[in-house]
Amino acid sequence: MCYYNKKHWNIVIKEVEMPIYEYECKDCEKVFSLLQPITASEKDTECHYCGSKNVKKKFSLFSCSTTGVSNQASSASSSSGGGG
């Protein structure tokens, strides 16, 4: 989005979450990482090394953090009074 402010153009960049995906090329067998929108698919991706579109998304580890969210499962199990 851009807007004009009498002196010059200011560019406003909307923050978009884009995860890093790992792919393996089925032609050259190399693994590469790529920053892509969540909506991107394997057919939108080509190998950085050989240019092939014959790539497969790999399963990767990820992390996420939350703030201000309670763990309802823990509080529910601790308050249920179940014994063992």
pLDDT of residue 68: 66
Give domain status of residue 75, yes or no. Answer: no
Cα 47 from Cα 54, distance rounded (Å): 8
Tell me which residue has tokens 């190998």: 47
Amino acid at 52: S
* Domain tally, the chain: 1
Give domain status of residue 6, yes or no. Answer: no
Res. 20: pLDDT tops 80:
yes
| CA separation, residue 58 to residues 12, 26, 32, 33 (Å) | 34, 12, 10, 10
pLDDT of residue 6: 47
Give domain status of residue 48, yes or no. Answer: yes
CATH of the domain at 34: 2.20.28.10
pLDDT of residue 50: 97
> What is the pTM assigned to this prediction?
0.53
Domain that holds residue 51: 16-60
Q: What is the pLDDT of residues 44-75, one digit of tens each?
A: 899 989 999 999 999 876 666 777 655 555 44
Percentage helix, strand, coil, to 5, in the chain? Answer: 15, 25, 60
